[in-house]
Structure 1
Amino acid sequence: MTSVEIPASKPEISKPAILAPADRAAPAKGRLSLPAGVRPFQLNWPYIIVIAGYHALALLAFMPGWFSWSGLILAMLLTHLCGLFGINLCYHRLLTHRGLKCPKWLEHSMVVVAMSCLQETPARWVAIHRRHHQFADEQPDPHSPLASFLWAHVGWILVHQPELSRLGIYERYAKDILRDPFYVALERHGWLVWINLIQMPLFFAAGFAVAWLMGQSPGAAAQTGLSILMFGVFVRTVLVWHITWAVNSVTHLWGYRSYETDEDSRNNFVVGMISNGEGWHNNHHADPRSARHGHRWWEMDNTWLTIRFLERIGLATDVVAPSAHIKAQAAKARLVTRGPDGVPVD
């Protein structure tokens, strides 16, 4: 079986130019049409029902009688860890862009964490994201905000897109993923659903057990268990969804541009902070294979720091750092930004 080609941000733009400070907020392209075959809309009812149900239960967790500070802290911690290890490090930088390698036991473990966030199977997530890079902010892009913000954020998930049919995108974009029997099994046996169902009683049982051991009555312990379930599963999943969706929508509309790429990717400070580095999206489109997205000292990239830690302890190898061209352009930009006399210029 031949290896799949991993599309870069655009094959013909191999060395993006650094942008002068005055050009870093260049106006967006014109409005795009939706991807081919979308109209007339065919609603994806299973996805609509699940997404609406998770949001309703996440909101219910904040109602009196269900809310708990321990549950909220748990949700915030798991949002950070599941998003970092599952979506950012595993699905995106490892599987999609091959920016590093990990032992299979660690890779597969992180895949299970990613699937607990209910963001598609590995092969489908990778295939859709590779297609996005190939056609970023062009009509075939599955989720460009130039079609509309709502479309990029969630709308593209709620309707059928013929161009994203599983066989079609797998054949073109995910052959390498499906060489691993583990990923084939995930596709064939519905493990995305099973993982998300299995975690629910586990969270309830953990919350019930801790509360009961701390002396709560069985009724109170059951209520605590339900609170832990709602925060640990539903609130956490919804938060990870919106953080991931914000990378698709917000970072192609608002922010600054450090590199002249042929799409509208932006570096967005807020998304960069809450997404553990995924919001430095212009940097990423300029150098897609790099496992490091934050290029400046203040562009915090916790996912990159985690990768460096895994590399230091021998659990990550072949880590792809920013290319020599990107480093040279970044150094040049710092000199230009400060001016010949060392004084910063606007």
Structure 2
Amino acid sequence: MTAEMTTHRPAAAKALPLTDTGLAAPEQSGRLPLPNGVLLRRIEWPTASVILAYHLVALLAFIPWTFSWTGVIVAIIAARLSGLLGINICYHRLLTHRGFKCPKWFEHTLAVIAICCVQDTPARWVAVHRRHHQHADEQPDPHSPLVNFLWGHIGWLIIKNPELNRLGIYDRYAKDILRDPFYVAIERNWLQVKIILAQWAVFFGLGFLAELAMGGTTMQALQFGLSILLWGVFVRTVFVWHQTWAVNSVTHLWGYRNYQTDEDSRNNVFIGLLAHGEGWHNNHHADPRSARHGHKWWEFDTTWLTIRLFEKLGLATDVVGPSPHVMAKAGVNMVTRGGSNTPDE
């Protein structure tokens, strides 16, 4: 992480005290003003248009001509894999927090999967998320739901915030990312758009060819190809969007807290299970660099298990486990297994 990530944050946003059960009352929206510089009456039209278009096109998957149960299965599998490998592992735990290391070819492969989720370039995603950690639930936080739920979930993406478009945010929060020529090329050469369009062709082509291989007519192949495209790309992308956005919104409003952090992060069971461990958000804010977000034995973290699998396969090294000092605050004892800290409850 950049040096800015380790600086002391002013305690402008006080966390609620824990109850005897570890639960805290839901935070109230409207507690924070909008970040400075936000132009409330100005729409970020490029982003808003893409979000609207994907939602509208995704609805076409449900009409009889393009609906298929194969498409539904493809969407579920693609959503689980792309969200897990691309957003959680690559963008979040690897690039943003440097929770482990891996070969460059593998990192770039994961980054391509993340780009297919249409959640912006690696450098911008990292910059925004590191800024969030530095100012979590304070006014400079790009997407605190303490402004209101919709702002934290989607509003921050579609309302113009010039601060997030300034080159200085890359220099301050993502300088390490842009030392890699691959990520520079993504920023400068429309490579992101080319990757996104290529995945459209791949999903449509696989569906089209599969139907032809099963003896279907050209029209049937066209129909099935469109079904796989709609479900495998558009429905899947919209699902993964809301899964990621819910981490920004829901897990700063509802849930329980293992740690008294100086913002309002929560562990939310539903989001924790849905988003492969990203919903154990209070744990994450208490120990951001750890590649493991589930600290209690029952806080299931598929992302962490996948990183551990990569470690066993030689694809991940220097994996950062939870800090025993941090976890002791939640009453979790640590044992060492294979070089990684593991809860023992």
Q: TM-score, normalised by structure 2?
A: 0.91
Seen in structure 2, the aligned counterparts of structure 1 residues 87 and 245 have a Cα distance that, compared at 3 Å, is same
The secondary structure found in structure 1 opposite 2:62 is: coil
Asked if structure 1 preserves the Cα contact closer than 8 Å seen for 2:259 and 2:330, the reply is no
Tell me by how many angstroms 1:86 deviates.
0.3
Seen in structure 2, the aligned counterparts of structure 1 residues 139 and 215 have a Cα distance that, compared at 3 Å, is same
Deviations 1:14-36 (A, max 9, x none): xx9x9563453155376110011
Alignment partners' CA distance in 2, 1:172 and 1:33? 23
Asked if structure 2 preserves the Cα contact closer than 8 Å seen for 1:10 and 1:135, the reply is no
Alignment partners' CA distance in 1, 2:141 and 2:327? 28
The secondary structure found in structure 2 opposite 1:331 is: coil
The secondary structure found in structure 2 opposite 1:87 is: helix
**One-letter amino acid matched to 2:73:** I
Aligned counterpart, 2:3: 5
Count of matched residue pairs: 330
Tell me by how many angstroms 1:247 deviates.
0.2
Alignment partners' CA distance in 2, 1:221 and 1:332? 55
Unpaired stretches in structure 1, ≥5 consecutive residues: 335-346
**One-letter amino acid matched to 1:266:** R
Q: How does 1:19-98 map to 2 (within 5 A)?
A: 21-26=20-25, 28=27, 31-98=31-98
Q: How does 1:1-346 map to 2 (within 5 A)?
A: 4-5=2-3, 7=5, 11=9, 21-26=20-25, 28=27, 31-331=31-331
Alignment partners' CA distance in 1, 2:305 and 2:165? 36
Asked if structure 1 preserves the Cα contact closer than 8 Å seen for 2:243 and 2:274, the reply is yes
Asked if structure 2 preserves the Cα contact closer than 8 Å seen for 1:71 and 1:232, the reply is yes
**One-letter amino acid matched to 2:193:** V
Farther-moved stretch of structure 1 (192-201 vs 273-282)? 192-201
The secondary structure found in structure 2 opposite 1:171 is: helix
Alignment partners' CA distance in 1, 2:83 and 2:98? 18
Alignment partners' CA distance in 2, 1:290 and 1:106? 20
Seen in structure 2, the aligned counterparts of structure 1 residues 12 and 320 have a Cα distance that, compared at 3 Å, is farther
The secondary structure found in structure 2 opposite 1:260 is: coil
Seen in structure 2, the aligned counterparts of structure 1 residues 332 and 294 have a Cα distance that, compared at 3 Å, is closer
**One-letter amino acid matched to 1:7:** M
**One-letter amino acid matched to 1:4:** T
Asked if structure 2 preserves the Cα contact closer than 8 Å seen for 1:6 and 1:97, the reply is no
Tell me by how many angstroms 1:98 deviates.
0.5
Tell me by how many angstroms 1:201 deviates.
1.6
Tell me by how many angstroms 1:40 deviates.
4.0
Alignment partners' CA distance in 2, 1:298 and 1:9? 32
What is the aligned-residue RMSD (CA, Å)?
2.1
**One-letter amino acid matched to 2:180:** D
**One-letter amino acid matched to 1:216:** G
Seen in structure 2, the aligned counterparts of structure 1 residues 281 and 332 have a Cα distance that, compared at 3 Å, is closer
Asked if structure 2 preserves the Cα contact closer than 8 Å seen for 1:252 and 1:265, the reply is yes
Alignment partners' CA distance in 2, 1:74 and 1:6? 41
Seen in structure 2, the aligned counterparts of structure 1 residues 311 and 9 have a Cα distance that, compared at 3 Å, is farther
Asked if structure 2 preserves the Cα contact closer than 8 Å seen for 1:54 and 1:238, the reply is yes
Tell me by how many angstroms 1:333 deviates.
9.2
Seen in structure 2, the aligned counterparts of structure 1 residues 166 and 77 have a Cα distance that, compared at 3 Å, is farther
The secondary structure found in structure 2 opposite 1:7 is: helix
Deviations 1:89-139 (A, max 9, x none): 000000000000010000000000000010010000000000000110011
Question: What is the identity percentage for the equivalent residue pairs of Structure 1 and Structure 2?
Answer: 62
Alignment partners' CA distance in 1, 2:238 and 2:10? 37
Deviations 1:143-194 (A, max 9, x none): 0001010111101000211221240210110011011111111111011211
